[in-house]
Amino acid sequence: MNKMITAGLGLFLTLLAAGASAAEDYAGVIKTARGAVVAERAGAKVALAPGVKVSRGDRIVTGADGYLGMTMSDDTLLTLGPGTVLRLDDYRFDAKTHDGSFLVSLTKGVLSVVTGLIARRSPDAFVVKTRVSTMGVRGTEFIVEANEL
């Protein structure tokens, strides 16, 4: 009987750990969405709505009428305006140590940022790229606009 309980407990703990790991695989979650907003991932388009999770590698696109607000797992707040294209190039965050990295590329449009724990702990690890510049972040709130060339 003890072997069955031990085996069952081991299986339960394994599944619990796997679930926690899967839950931490996302970079952020959509809080507000209006108009046409999608994430392009693995060749598919995913409609974005409150509660939908975004991941590293996602290319987020807002239409001419689109607005999007999302909270990253380190509490960074991102707001995208109409006609914006943003790629989450790299995003990693350790909730225990607050270590991480944040790298996004803004192809066009407007991005408003209120930085979270990554920028506070390691300002050099927080980077926003556009076609003509790369910006390391030292402040806590900023807006970036990228126009098509």
Using pLDDT thresholds of 50, 70 and 90, give the confidence band for residue 46.
very high
User: What is the pLDDT at residue 25?
Assistant: 78
Domains of the chain plus CATH, in order, are 26-146 (2.60.120)
User: pLDDT for 67-85, tens place per residue?
Assistant: 999 999 999 999 999 999 9
Strand partners, 98: none
Q: Is residue 55 classed exposed, middle or buried when 0-12, 13-18 and 19+ CB atoms within 10 A define those classes?
A: middle
Q: pTM for the full model?
A: 0.79
Helices (H), 24-149: 117-121
Average the pLDDT over 129-145 and give the result: 71
Cα 81 from Cα 34, distance rounded (Å)? 10
Q: How many CB atoms lie within 10 A of CB 76?
A: 26
Using pLDDT thresholds of 50, 70 and 90, give the confidence band for residue 93.
very high
Cα 74 from Cα 97, distance rounded (Å)? 11
Q: Give the contacts of 83 (CB within 8 A, at least 6 positions apart).
A: 62, 63, 64, 66, 108, 109
Helices (H), the chain: 2-23, 117-121
User: pLDDT for 97-133, tens place per residue?
Assistant: 999 999 999 999 999 999 999 999 998 899 999 887 6
Cα 120 from Cα 137, distance rounded (Å)? 10
